[in-house]
Amino acid sequence: MKFYVGLNNGETFRNPRAWLYKVFLNQFKTFCNSRKHESAEVESRLASESFSPDITEEYTKKEKQRIVFEMLEKLPEKDRSILLLYNRGLSYADMAEVLEINPNSVGTTLVRAIASLKELLKHHYNEMFEQN
């Protein structure tokens, strides 16, 4: 929506894809903040219900995702952003433009961010992630 409003107001976008991902990152930050408030309510509801094996598997998958997002929030902004952009399939050039970093340092930054996330997961939830 912001993109089309900008176009209607005469703005030009040098790299629309990178601009849209900047907006995406900001929206994701807002989503994470709202999700913190909702997770406590959902956890208390789930604790009171009994589960079938299929529901248990689905819950485990969602719990792993929740934990990864929780650990992402503990990473520095630059690491969190590059991991999200990488997960979305952006090229190194696009990631460099969105994050305003040198394209030659994207690979190194990404490897370090992955290592930081793995270390956090290992430290806080080793038993849950040791098989993956």
Q: Whole-structure pTM over 0.85, yes or no?
A: no
How large is the average pLDDT for residues 21-38? Answer: 73
- Distance of alpha carbon 120 from alpha carbon 123, whole angstroms: 5
Fold classification of 2-129 (topology level): Arc Repressor Mutant, subunit A (1.10.10)
* Burial classification of residue 14, based on how many CB atoms lie within 10 Å of its CB (0-12 exposed, 13-18 middle, 19 or more buried): exposed
Q: What is the pLDDT of residue 36?
A: 62
